[in-house]
Structure 1
């Protein structure tokens, strides 16, 4: 602890001169700060898992009704826009159904009009005492039956129009065509998959975690991803799905969502995910840069600045220093996923609005 005190006192001595400076003028330009993504548990173990990129959202598209495929206007890998026509069925049978339904509805409306005139006539005659009440009731029943037939035929027409519209397959969102399962002139049944569409932008990496490690993973824990398509580069991610049911080989499916994935990445690419597992989250604290921590001379008021991406402001948070590891220090008081300011903390204040320069991955 003595060596830790010396290091912190050295850092603090460089910052004391800032104490006499005037308060920050809010009219000054917004200061840019360098950030560090807290992820590595001081008592954790690094584990690497192989995985494959998948789209965060995938839609399997099909026609709800059977028919003959007339056209498929896209190919695998094509980028498509929301609402774009992707495929069509032969429209002739559906057009004929609409025409037949319209004709039946026309007949039903004509019959209902006749029954309505008959009812009006019988009502007038009944009021004059020229027909019986039973005759009037019979005419009323006939009218109600005819109106019910109109409603039924109207429903049939709406169903035929809906089927005609369903013969055109459109994109539910912007994305990329992942797979193609049918060709023009092919007879397909209702519900048979025609295309698979991956949403553009959002990507995940699917990995398998052994049963002796799965209990050490937590939702939201930070991950580092590496891909052959990006030599020498890393991509940040977070664990967003942990299965409760083991698959083949007693491994558990886990998904890691990539944060701001580069455009070079595609679904189907292989990569590696680095996770820092821990037996007791936060028990040993988390590692942050030495330059991120400020402390008073007696080391009783150590703190860091946490960046809030939503409000673009800083909050001052007390921390408890533990041990130093090179340029990093283990502290208690921060959580995985926190963004701490890693440099220039002597020029900052609680609640200050700032902008980020970059996020430093550990």
Structure 2
């Protein structure tokens, strides 16, 4: 047992030196990485159990630090690149137009000309009021117009007859003036009769209550035989579903972060804020049509801390419905001069994210932990298919070799590593 304690103590001291040398290689003061250093010490203590077990399985000639086989890993050399930047936000759908159908004139509903929930076309009659009173009014105003036109013709003939007689002084000037005034009054009467006829024809047209847009009809609110006094009574609703409207909120914090990155040249935003929009459905699939942001409210909602955005998306097959909850993916921006690391290579210490770098040690390559600040996820096409990756804001530099595979065989920071497929040279040398 005393031999085991001495072995444990010697290994702790060795691990401490490796960890300290790892952070010294980074070039940052120990105080700056206090939390990460504490994490590494904890990780070292936990890994001692596996290390001692491994030592127990080694031959007497291969015992100790020098006898441990290096972990086979794969690395990726960091190079700055431009990657797409996207935002995914919760959103709700609504019709691009939601119209209340009301009768413009009073009357008794004679028929309903649609089925609830069916598609309706612009100009299609949805309800028909009793047309007879309106047809009678049209006929009466037509007769009034004919009478006014006849009076106008009579007044014109009087003026035509009296004009030469006045030149001969056969009639007085007053008689001619009266005739001309009568003609002007007759002209006004004709215009008034024409306006009344137009109003009667409009009422007859309004009695055939029509849909102002293409869309889907809602349920009827009033049935046949009901008297409606005019526009005060709602008959039904028509919702235009093509295109459909998406409304969602963007937090003030996200807006400030994007604005700051754009000012620093780290982010390129779409021109005039016209983000491309894709709709992610509840099952994770994407809707086939892509829309565009066409409205952004300048006000911040005091209750939610967000400003409202709106996008329009084609919906020719009416697959999307108002009130549907979806997620909207905003595309069209890009990150500039950034590093990207596969998600599997980014580990969590409980106090922050870190990756392992393949760095030079005293006896070869070692796994050196490097704290990183991660950003958003990105999806990239690789030779093996689509790869999910993290955007790294801080912690890496060009040329760093990030270990992307084989982390499961790294039991402690500073452990010897070798590239997969290469034979470790003098793995047991001291």
TM-score under structure 1 length normalisation = 0.58
- What is the aligned counterpart of 2:212 among 172, 193, 197? 172
Tell me if 1:272 matches 2:327.
yes
1:148 aligned to 2:188? yes
Identify the residue that residue 285 of structure 2 maps to in structure 1: 233
Q: Which residue number corresponds to residue 177 of structure 2?
A: 137
Alignment of 1:185-224 (within 5 A): 185-190=226-231, 192-214=233-255, 216=258, 219-224=273-278
Match of 2:159 in 1: 119
Counterpart position of 1:72: 112
Distance 1:147 1:275, change over 3 A: closer
Q: Distance in 1 between matches of 2:317 and 2:191?
A: 56
Q: Is the 8 A contact 1:61 1:194 kept in 2?
A: yes
State the partner residue of 2:299: 245
Per-residue Cα deviation, 1:148-192 (whole angstroms, up to 9, x for no partner): 211211111112112211222223343222454433314142365
- 1:297-347 residue CA offsets vs partner (Å, 9 max, x unmatched): xxxxxxxxxxxxxxxxxxxxxxxxxx997837999xxxxxxxxxxxxxxxx
| Pair 1:40 & 2:84 matched | yes
Q: Aligned equivalents of 1:62 and 1:227: distance in 2?
A: 35
- Larger % of helix: which? 2
Q: Does 1:160 align with 2:200?
A: yes
Cα separation, partners in 2 of 1:262 and 1:118, compared to 1, 3 Å = closer
Separation in 1 of the partners of 2:230 and 2:222? 11
User: 1:4 offset after TM fit, Å?
Assistant: 5.5
The superposition leaves residues 130-149 of structure 1 with CA deviations (integer Å, 9 ceiling, x where unpaired) of: 21122112211112211221
**Does the 8 Å CA contact 1:84/1:171 hold for their aligned counterparts?**
yes
**Is the CA contact (8 Å cut-off) linking 1:4 and 1:324 kept in structure 2?**
no
In the alignment, is the contact (CA less than 8 A) between 1:83 and 1:171 conserved in 2? Answer: yes
Please give the secondary structure, in 2, of the residue aligned with 1:76. Answer: coil
The equivalent position to 2:127 in structure 1, one of 77, 87, 107, is 87
Any unmatched runs of 5+ in structure 2? 1-75, 259-268, 341-377, 392-430
> Contact between 2:241 and 2:315, CA under 8 Å: does it hold in 1?
no
Q: Which residue of 1 aligns with 2:145?
A: 105
| Aligned residues of 1:108 and 1:146 also touching (Cα < 8 A) | yes
Is contact 1:60–1:193 with CA below 8 Å preserved after alignment?
yes
State the distance in 1 between where 2:242 and 2:133 align: 39
Aligned-partner SS, 1:264: coil
Asked whether the equivalents of residues 88 and 327 of structure 2 are also in contact (C-alpha less than 8 Å), the reply is no
| 8 Å Cα contact 2:83-2:334 kept in structure 1 | no
Does structure 2 retain, via aligned residues, the 8 Å contact 1:238–1:259? no
Q: Displacement, 1:79?
A: 1.0
Write the distance in 2 (CA, Å) between the matches of 1:324 and 1:171: 45
SS at match of 1:249: coil
Change (3 A) 1:144 1:326: closer
Structure 1 residues 119 and 245, CA gap change in structure 2 (3 angstroms): same
Give the counterpart of 1:3 among 71, 77, 87. Answer: 77
- 2:336 maps to which residue? 284
Are the aligned partners of 2:292 and 2:312 in contact in 1 as well (CA < 8 Å)?
Answer: yes
Q: Tell me how far apart the structure 2 counterparts of residues 212 and 132 of structure 1 sit (CA, whole Å).
A: 89
Verify the 8 A CA contact 1:47 1:276 in the aligned structure 2: no
Alignment partners' CA distance in 2, 1:72 and 1:222: 41
Is this contact kept in 1: 2:89–2:248, CA < 8 A? Answer: no
The structure whose Rg is larger is 2
